[in-house]
Structure 1
């Protein structure tokens, strides 16, 4: 039986989806919506963030926009980074996940991560991602470099030794994140790879856990931007390097924090016969 969110209910999870509303991808958006409707054991809100000069909100099917769990936040400026950041302004749920407009999530994706976050108190919980071929129906799980289990702040970065050789060792769409943490980190304003910086920031500022459950289905199709030959250009590698340096810096700052906190406290200087100038 379909569960609906009553108007007075507080959603426990927000899902944010940036989209250029390319007409050829609208069927994908409908499939994503159906996967959100199929979520069990969790109340949700869906924030759709159309971005770009051709992203006309009127293109969104009425069956989606009439759902009172849906909020549309349209911005004329292009790029998923500002779209994701702006969408965070409208989140009312305590936890948030990002889902791309051509992908989908399995029925218990949100509930599994949300329940684990509640029970453990962790500020981020991730699950595995699988490549999904809608033609054959096959799912191929990505055995990411980050191992299943708990991870202290900054530890995920250690599983990414060379940003030139690979993307980060975890995907940002695999995360369910404390909303305040997501707002504190944000997506860097890069043309591409902004999700790399978000991932490194989230996993560096708080401890979390990677579950063995598959929580994300990444669609395999010909229109994937990341599958294009031109995708791996200098901009892509600059974004990787930026995120890698961010992760390293965040980890080093985390390690230095106790030392800073244990420094000798500053005290107001005593008056040894000299008057303090208070006129400044």
Structure 2
């Protein structure tokens, strides 16, 4: 029987047409022989705009729910995540070849690693890509280093939360994604880094699409008052978790 890596995607009407490209990037993944992927597509709402774009594939499950933002949609999808690892894939993004296999190698290779990330490349409207100049070194990401970097660099994390692959038990223990209108994935990343070592793959694992309809490009996303409040609660949660001195996965013995 195959073991499963669960890919979770939150989607709303404007991003639904990109699902075909996300699906193609999933189908191109080559996994170890005893592994398979399942894709949970969760609509943030109950419109009739998304379903026509969901692939007809037994490995793909589509559900809808009350609107609450991408974090709520992803967290609701966790109820159906029946594998040991959960990979996030935004509806408008694409995995690069080998991304899932590299995540599995990191997490299966070291039980003390709770989560894995990778280099992300911006996918620009003209089809070209652009990287980031300050990616960390390939290898383990020690506890608190992401939080410290984020706090010291204008709330910019050194690794991209849209590339996360997480042990399901750890993800559930932290409550899934934060109940925020935005930055819910950054909140999860900092919480993970507060309690667990991670991994960064220097090989690009995600093409992060830049387009006019993406939620992070809207004016509300950069509203000063809201952003200040989001960053405050994200940091407070991460530092509270760090203060508990809880380590995950738990030490043996």
TM-score normalised over the length of structure 2: 0.86
Distance in structure 1 (CA, Å) of the matches to 2:210 and 2:44: 23
Distance in structure 2 (CA, Å) of the matches to 1:48 and 1:17: 5
For 1:7-18, list aligned pairs within 5 A: 9-11=2-4, 13-18=5-10
Q: Is the 8 A contact 1:167 1:240 kept in 2?
A: no
Unpaired runs of at least 5, structure 2: 248-253
The CA RMSD over aligned residues, in Å, is: 2.2
Q: Is the 8 A contact 1:154 1:254 kept in 2?
A: no
Deviations 1:225-268 (A, max 9, x none): 2223442112222112211222222223228x8xxxxxxxxxxx
My pick for the range that moved more, 113-122 or 98-107, is: 113-122
Deviation, structure 1 residue 124: 1.1
Query: Does 2:34 match 1:41?
Result: no
Unpaired runs of at least 5, structure 1: 1-7, 258-280
Q: 1:191 to 1:228 in 2, by over 3 A?
A: closer
Q: 1:219 to 1:57 in 2, by over 3 A?
A: closer
From 166, 169, 172, the equivalent of 2:155 is 166
Moved over 4 A (4+): 144-147
What does residue 140 of structure 1 align with?
Answer: 130
Distance in structure 2 (CA, Å) of the matches to 1:53 and 1:46: 19
Distance in structure 2 (CA, Å) of the matches to 1:86 and 1:230: 24
What does residue 52 of structure 2 align with?
Answer: 59
Q: Is the 8 A contact 1:192 1:235 kept in 2?
A: no
Query: Does 2:121 match 1:130?
Result: yes
SS where residue 234 of structure 2 aligns? helix
Query: Does 2:201 match 1:208?
Result: no
| Count of residues in correspondence between the two structures | 241
TM-score normalised over the length of structure 1: 0.78
From 15, 19, 34, the equivalent of 2:11 is 19
Q: Which has the larger radius of gyration?
A: 1
Deviation, structure 1 residue 89: 0.9
Query: Does 2:108 match 1:108?
Result: no
Deviation, structure 1 residue 224: 2.1
Q: 1:190 to 1:240 in 2, by over 3 A?
A: same
